[in-house]
Amino acid sequence: MLKKTMIFALTISAIAMQALTEPAYAQISEFKLTASDNAAGDNFGFSISISGDYAVVGAWWDDDNGTNSGSAYIFKRTGTTWAEEAKLLPSDGAANDEFGKSVSISGDYAVVGARRDDDNGDRSGSAYVFKRTGSSWTQEAKLLASDGAAFDVFGTSVSIYGDYAVVGANWDDDNGDRSGSAYVFKRTGSSWTQEAKLLPSDGAANDNFGNSVSISGDYAVVGAESDDVNGFHSGSAYVFNRSSTSWAQEAKLLPYDGAVEDHFGVSVSISGDYAIVGSVGDNNYSGSAYVFKRIGTSWAQEPKLLASDRGPEIDLFGSSVSISGDYAVVGAPMDDDNGISSGSAYVFKRTGTSWVEEAKLLPSDGASEDYFGWSVSISGDYAVVGAYKDDDNGTDAGSAYVYSG
């Protein structure tokens, strides 16, 4: 197995690179991020989010507050440089909380999930909101479900937009064991209060509704990757619309060609009138993603996204997705261009109703089992991609890469 041996305390490199696949791509700039105190097994890059000049990166197995207690890091862009600005830790962190399993950032606020926190019982879960003042980030609130219970894993997924945050609890059992749920919180001043609990109209046991969440404006989308609507674990996703303080299900999203074990809904993202849903198990786990557009109160499927160099291999394309404006990025963490499970990510651009692959992202120092593409996020002209098993600072210490072009 190919492994890298150079160890860095903090790597933020700026390297011009040319993406390599069949289409002719423009030159893309690459910046590599690692934590200042990164160590073996931290899994830095397991989760990732970018908003404007700021990015947050989760390291869910960091050990600052005990084994696998977890952490997250804020990076800020100045010109062409990205520098670590803060390390986020919960005020009451403990071993095995897995703080950093999920992260999201919007403006001056970041939210971090800790799905194995035990305030409401073993693995009941929680999420934490942090606020930026100048260059400081301080914990503003700890979010807990009003009806949280053991093994709900609240915090498995998080998303924040403006004054609203949504948190997934995919093992909640309101509609049967591990049927799942999601919760919406609203900020008023410095207080965050639960506004709604989201449940699908047809939820059932083992759907895992809430395994992925995303919010944009008055709309939230929630994945249910184990829904059996098109066969065992074929998957689905649901769109909810806010009217005043009420959230109502507006649509259930399904792929036109859904099949057994597609896991459609494993990843979701929404931006304006567009939503993208990953289907990692499609075509024997080579994977795919689907774009949906809102027209009034209806959501219509646009193109199905596939990698231009797809094959029969298990690439897990669709493991992660993110959409912003006319661009979408899709991760394929088991792609083999730089070795077994080295990983890749693909950028797609919308023109009218067409989505065309514009770039394939590969890290300049990619290696076997880095799992580059496990997490992705896009905001404006910048995309960030996590490689949580990169070994620069020890086995599975992890890293992330920022791209612009």
pLDDT for 8 equals: 28
Work out the mean pLDDT of the chain and round it to a whole number.
94
Q: Residue 23: is its pLDDT beyond 50?
A: no
Architecture of domain 14-404: 7 Propeller (2.130)
pLDDT for 19 equals: 35
Q: Residue 315: is its pLDDT beyond 50?
A: yes
Average of pLDDT values for 286-315?
96
Give this prediction's pTM: 0.93
pLDDT for 26 equals: 54
Q: How many angstroms separate the CA atoms of 118 and 210, rounded?
A: 19
| Residue pLDDT, tens place only, 351-365 | 999 999 999 999 999
Percent of the chain with pLDDT over 70: 94
pLDDT for 313 equals: 86
- 3-state class of 283 per DSSP? helix
pLDDT for 312 equals: 86
Average of pLDDT values for 253-266?
98
pLDDT for 16 equals: 32
Q: Residue 372: is its pLDDT beyond 50?
A: yes
pLDDT for 5 equals: 31
In sequence order, the β-bridge partners of residue 49 are 56
Average of pLDDT values for 17-26?
39
Q: Residue 314: is its pLDDT beyond 90?
A: yes
| Residue pLDDT, tens place only, 37-87 | 999 999 999 999 999 999 999 999 999 999 999 999 999 999 999 999 999
Residue pair 143/167 in contact by the 8 Å Cβ criterion? yes
pLDDT for 228 equals: 98
Q: Residue 296: is its pLDDT beyond 70?
A: yes
Sequence ranges of the domains in the chain: 14-404
Q: How many angstroms separate the CA atoms of 99 and 89, rounded?
A: 8
Residue pair 143/127 in contact by the 8 Å Cβ criterion? yes
Q: Which contacts of 71-79 are long-range, i.e. CB under 8 A and separated by 24 or more positions?
A: 71/42, 71/99, 71/100, 72/47, 72/99, 72/100, 72/103, 72/110, 72/112, 73/35, 73/44, 74/105, 74/110, 74/132, 74/137, 75/33, 76/135, 77/53, 77/382, 77/402, 78/53
Task: Give me 311's structure tokens.
Answer: 């094959």
Q: Which residues, including other chains, have CB under 8 Å from residue 332's CB and lie 6 or more apart? A: 287, 307, 315, 316, 317, 318, 319, 343, 344, 345, 346, 373
Q: How many angstroms separate the CA atoms of 368 and 193, rounded?
A: 44
| Residue pLDDT, tens place only, 123-178 | 999 999 999 999 999 999 999 999 999 999 999 999 999 999 999 999 999 999 99
